Structure 1
Amino acid sequence: MTSVVTSETRFVRSGDVDIAYQVVGQGERDIVVGIGWVSHLELLWELPETVHFLRRLQSCGRLILHDARGTGLSDRPARPATIDDLAEDLVAVLDAVGSERAVILGWVDKAAGAIALAARHPERVEALVLGEALATTVARDDHPEGLDPAVIENLAAAVEQGSWGTGALLPAIAPSVAHDPRVAAWWRRWERMSATPNMAAGMLRTLLDLDVRALLPAVTAPTLVLHRSENMLVPSAAVRRLAHDLPDGRLVELPGADLAAFFGDTDALLDEVEEFLTGTRTGADAGRAVLTMLVTDVVGSTALAAELGDHRWNELLDFHHREVRAALARHGGSEIDTAGDGFLAVFALPSRALACAREARERLAAGGLTIRAGLHSAEVVHLGAGVRGLGVHVAARVAASAGPGEIRATGTVADLVAGARAEFEELGEATLSGVPGLCRLTRLVDARGDA
C-alpha cells in the first residue's frame, strides 16, 4: 500500500460558504469521504484508529476528505445544512479537485447528502457507500421505521446543557472504545473542535427533518448500504427498507454496536467496501507484516540518575541513545519509539535483531551502562511510523523479565534463528502480564559472532 501523506487543508467556495477539503494519495478512482454528524479534517490524522480507517480506504483510490458546512474547518453558518446544501457542497469539492466522477461515501446525515447528489447529478457519481443510512430519519405514516425523536431530542438537549466536549456521548456513539482513556481524550477534543454546542445540537435536530424517499428512484448508481446490527440508535428495519427501495442497492449487515465507522471492527466493514469497489479483499493485510521486535531498557536507571545528578545523567542518556542508534543502523533496525532510557525497534529478520541486541549491550557496557533486552517475532500492524499488535506487548514483557545484562527471547525467536551461531538456554513457560496463555522463554547464553 502507498503510504498515507495528508495534503494541506484547502478551501473551496460553495455559494457563500467556504468548505475545507484535503486530497490524499492517488488511484484509479476518487473516493469522497463524508463523516457523519460532526468532523474535523486534521484531527482525523491524530488517532491510530481513524488513520487506519483512512489508510484502508486509500488502498481503493484517491481520497477526497471534507468537513461539511457547519463543522470542522468549514464555515459555520447560522443554520445547519440541508441535504441540498450538502449535495451542492459535494459538487464544489469535486470541481475543486478536478474529479469528474467519484465514489461517494457518507454516514448518517452525510448519506442523505450523497443520495441527493446521486439523484440530481448522476453523471458525477460512480457508486455510493452509505453507512447507517435511512430514507426518512423518523417514522412516517407510510414508513413506520425510523429514529426515535425523543432519543434525538434528549441527545441534542444534553449537548446544549453542558455535555458537549466532555465525552458523555461517546458510549452511545462508539461503545466499543468508550472506556479507553486514550480514545476518550481524543473524542473530547474532537467534539470541541468540530462544532459549537449550539451547532452540534442543531445538526442533530435536522436529522428529524431528513426525508430522501422521493429521490431514491433517480439514484442509478450501484449502492452499498452498511449497518451494524447491534447499533442502538439506528433501527435495522429502517436501513433494510432503504436498501430495498434503492434501484441498485445492496445491504450488508455486520455485528457491532458502534455508530462511528472508524471504531469497532473497521476491517470487517472495509472488507465489504473494498470488495464492492474492486472485487477483491486484500486491503486488510496490506498494513500487516511479520517483524521481530527488540525492546531494551537501562537497568537501575532511577538509582543511577539520582546518584549522578541531572547533568551527568543527561550526558549518559545521550551516550546511550547514540550507541543504540549506531547498533540499529549497523543491523538494519527501525527505531519505533524511545521512552527515556528504553528503545522499541523492529527488524525484518530475527537474526539481525539478535545481533543488534548483542552489539548494543557491548557498546553500552563499555560506557558503564547495563541494559536488559527482550525479543519476539510476530505479526503486527503498521500505523504510520509506528506498529501495533500483541507482539509489541510480548516483546516488552520479555524485556521486563530479563535480568541485568540479559538478552531474553521468546521460543519463536530462538526457533527462527536456530543454526545462526547463537545458543539459547530454555527457561520454560511463563505467564506474561496482559498476555493470554503461556509464553516459552529463552535466554541467550552464547553467540559466536554476529548472525
Structure 2
Amino acid sequence: MSSPRRVTLSPTSSAASSAGFGAGSFVVGSLGGGSSFSIRSTLSARACLDCFSPSVSAMGAPPAPRQHQSEPATRQSVQSPPIATTAVFSALVERAQTQYAKSGDRYIGYRVLGDGPIDLLALNNGSNIWIDRDDEPHWAHFDRRLSSFTRLIRFDPSGVGLSDPLGAGELPTVELWTQDALAVLNAVESEHAALLGVSDGGPVAMLLSAMYPERISALVLMNSSARIARDDDYPCGIPQHLLDRFVNTVSDPTGGEDRVDDLALLAPSLAGDPEFQLWWKTAGERSAGPTTAKALDTLATAFDVRGILPLIRVPTLVMYRLDHPFLRPGHAHYLAEHVAGAKLVELPGRDHLAYVGETEPLLDEIEEFLTGTRGGSDTERVLATILFTDIVDSTKRASTAGDRLWREQLDNHDRMAARQLQRFGGRQVKSTGDGLLATFDGPARAIQCGLAMCDGARQLGMDVRVGIHTGEVERRGTDIAGIGVHIASRVQACAEPGEVWVSRTLTDLLAGSAVTFADRGDHTLKGVPGTWQLFKVEG
C-alpha cells in the first residue's frame, strides 16, 4: 500500500501542487450531496448531533470522442465569492433542456450546462436537475463555478427526481446507479470521465473506476468513505444501531419522539438560515417519497466497497473537511492508504454538503486536479463479476448415459446456458467441458443468471453448481486470467448441487438490495491465501 501525499489548506489558501492531468475530456460525478437525503421537516438540531457525536468521540464501449479545446481554464481564488442568484444563473438554465438516456428499461433524466473544454458529470442522490436546485443560491454558485471551466452534466439516478421510478419492491443499489451513470456518459458522448464522489456517491464512483478504467481518467472523493458502519477491522465507522436509528427517524413522515435534524448534521453552517431551511424541506419532499427516501438512506449506510479499493488505478484525490460533525478523519485516511498513489487533502470547514460552507478551497482543488497534465491508466486489468458453473456428477452421468446420449444432454445444457447468458447480459469466456466460465458487468445480473441456470438444469434432469466472485481480471485476447478467476472457480467447487454460492465481496456490493444470502461459513480455497466467507444465494 502506498502512503498518501497530504496537503493541509488554510481557509484562504489553495494547494500548490498539481495532480498531473491533461485538459482532455473529463467527467466528475458527485453523488450524495443532495437535498433528498431524507424527508425534511422542522427537527431538533440537538437530537441529531446527540445521535452521532457521543459515539464518534468515543470511537460499456466508449462512444466516438467529442472534440475539446486543449487550453486549460484558469481561475483566481477569492476569499469571499459572491453568491450567484437565480437571475444570474438563469441564462445557463434556459439553455439546459431536460434530455433522457436509456439505462436498461428506464429513462434517466439529465441536463447539460456550459460548453467548457472539460466534461463534468454531477451525480447526486437527491434533486439534481429540477429547478429547485437552481433556486438555491449556494448550489447555483457551486454549479456556476464548475460550469465556468466545464461542460457541466447533471442527472437524476433511477428512482429519484425526473428519472423513471423503481419497480415495486425494488431497491436502489450501487450497481444500478453505476449503470445509470454509464448510460448518461454514452448519451452525452463522453469518451473519458473523471469522477467526483461526494458522501455516499463515493462508492458509485469507486466501483465505476474499478470496473471501467478505460472510461475513467481521474477519481475525486469528497467527505466519502469505503463504508460508513463500524466493524471490527474498521473502528472509525459509526455503530450500526445509531445508523439504523438515523434511517428510521429521518425517513418517518409521521414524526416521532426521536426525530433528528439532518440539516444540522449535514449543513451546520446554514442550520439557522430560514431561507435555506425552507428550501431544504421543500426540495426533499419533492424529490422522493417516504419509502424511496428510506431506501436511499439505507443504501447510504449499508454499503461496503473496501474490497475494490486496491483495484482502483486511476489518479485519485481524497478530500475531507477537518471539523466534520460525524465523518471521522479515519475514513479519508483509509481511502488514501488503500488506493494506490492517492493524494490526501484536508479542507477547512464542518459541512458535509459540498456546496455549502467554505467551498472555494474545494472548488480550487477540483479545478487544479482536473486541468493539469494528463496521466495514464492501465486498461488491461479490469473489475468483473466472474461466474463458473459445473454439472454435478458429470463423469458418472457420462458413463451411465453413453457417449451419444451424453452429448445430447451436454448440447441441451449448453443451449440453455447460452439463452440465460444472453437474457442477463453475460459474456461466455469459454466452455469447461461440463460447465462454463462467463463474466458480467455487475453482480446482480450474474446472480440472476446463476439462479436461472440452476432452474434450467433441473428441468433437463441434472444439477449444476454455480460460483460467483467479483474481482480483478486480466484480459488475454478473448480469455481472462488472474486471482479473481481462481477464486470464482474455488467458490463454485464449494457450492452444493443446485445452489449458487458467492464470495463476501458480492454480498458487500449488494448491501441494501433485495437479494438475500445464507452464511455458509469460512472456507479454505485451494491455492488462495487465507480463509473466505461464502454465502448461498437464497433469492
**TM-score, structure 1 length as denominator?**
0.58
SS at match of 2:152: strand
- In the other structure, the counterpart of 1:64 is 153
Find the counterpart in structure 2 of residue 117 from structure 1.
208
Where 2:112 maps in the other structure, the secondary structure is strand
Superposed displacement of residue 169, structure 1: 2.1
> Would the aligned equivalents of 2:172 and 2:295 in 1 still touch at CA under 8 Å?
no
Conservation of the 8 A alpha-carbon contact between 2:250 and 2:260: no
**What is the match of residue 138 of structure 1?**
229
Distance 1:158 1:271 in 2: 36
Match of 2:143 among 54, 76, 93: 54
Match of 2:127 in 1: 39
Cα shift at 1:279: 4.6
Matched position secondary structure for 1:123 = coil
Residues 178/169 of structure 1: CA separation in 2 closer, same or farther (3 Å cut): same
Gaps of 5+ in 2: 1-74, 76-87, 374-539
Quote the offset at 1:58 in angstroms. Answer: 1.4
Deviation at 1:119, TM superposition (A): 0.4
| Structure whose alpha-carbon radius of gyration is higher | 1
The separation in 1 between residues aligned to 2:153 and 2:254, in whole angstroms, is 31
Residue 139 of structure 1: how far off its partner (Å)? 2.4
1:205 aligns with 2:298: yes
Cα RMSD between the aligned structures?
2.3
Q: Alignment length, in residue pairs?
A: 278
Q: Whole-Å Cα distance in 2 between the matches of residues 26 and 148 of structure 1?
A: 45
- Counterpart of 1:359 in structure 2 is none
Counterpart position of 2:388: none
1:18 to 80, 84, 107: 107
| Paired residues of 2:175 and 2:204 also in contact (CA < 8 A) | yes
Higher strand share: 1
Name the stretch that deviates more: 249-258 or 108-117.
249-258
Query: How far apart, in 2, do the equivalents of 1:229 and 1:151 lie?
Result: 22
- Structure 2 CA distance, aligned partners of 1:55 and 1:76? 29
- Paired position in structure 1 for 2:273: 180
Identity rate of aligned residues, in percent?
37
Secondary structure of 1:20's aligned partner: strand
Task: Using the TM superposition, give the Cα deviation of residue 167 of structure 1 relative to its aligned residue in structure 2, in angstroms.
Answer: 9.7
Instruction: Give the 3-state SS of the residue equivalent to 2:197 in structure 1.
Output: strand
CA deviation after TM superposition for structure 1 residue 5, in Å: 1.1
Q: Structure 1: how far apart are the matches of 2:212 and 2:341?
A: 16
Q: Tell me the equivalent position of 2:328.
A: 235
Choose between structure 1 and 2: higher helix proportion.
1
1:275 aligns with 2:368: yes
Amino acid at match of 2:128: H
Instruction: Point out the more displaced range, 155-164 or 138-147.
Output: 155-164
Distance 2:267 2:358 in 1: 11
User: What is the DSSP-based 3-state SS (H/G/I as helix, E as strand, rest coil) of the residue aligned with 1:110?
Assistant: helix
2:220 — aligned with what? 129
- 1:107 aligned to 2:195? no
Deviations 1:28-65 (A, max 9, x none): 22111123x42331221111100100011112311111
Query: Aligned with 1:122: secondary structure?
Result: coil
Q: Measure the CA separation in 1 of the matches of 2:242 and 2:134.
A: 31
**Secondary structure of 2:283 counterpart:** helix
**Letter aligned with residue 106 of structure 1:** G
Structure 2 equivalent of residue 82 of structure 1: 173
CA contact (8 A) 1:229 1:256 kept: yes
2:321 touches 2:347 (CA, 8 Å); kept in 1?
Answer: yes
Letter in 2 for 1:220: R
Q: 2: CA distance between counterparts of 1:60 and 1:143?
A: 38
Structure 1 residues 13-22 or 1-10, which shifts more? 1-10
Q: CA deviation at 1:176?
A: 0.4
Shift of residue 248, structure 1, vs aligned partner:
2.8
Give yes or no for contact 1:219–1:246 (8 Å, CA) kept in 2.
yes
The structure showing larger relative contact order (alpha-carbon pairs under 8 Å, at least 6 residues apart) is 2
Which of 342, 353, 356 is the aligned partner of 1:249? Answer: 342
Say if 2:227 and 2:305, in contact at 8 Å, map to a contact too.
Answer: yes
Stretches of structure 1 lacking an aligned partner (at least 5 in a row): 281-451
Residue 400 of structure 1: aligned partner = none
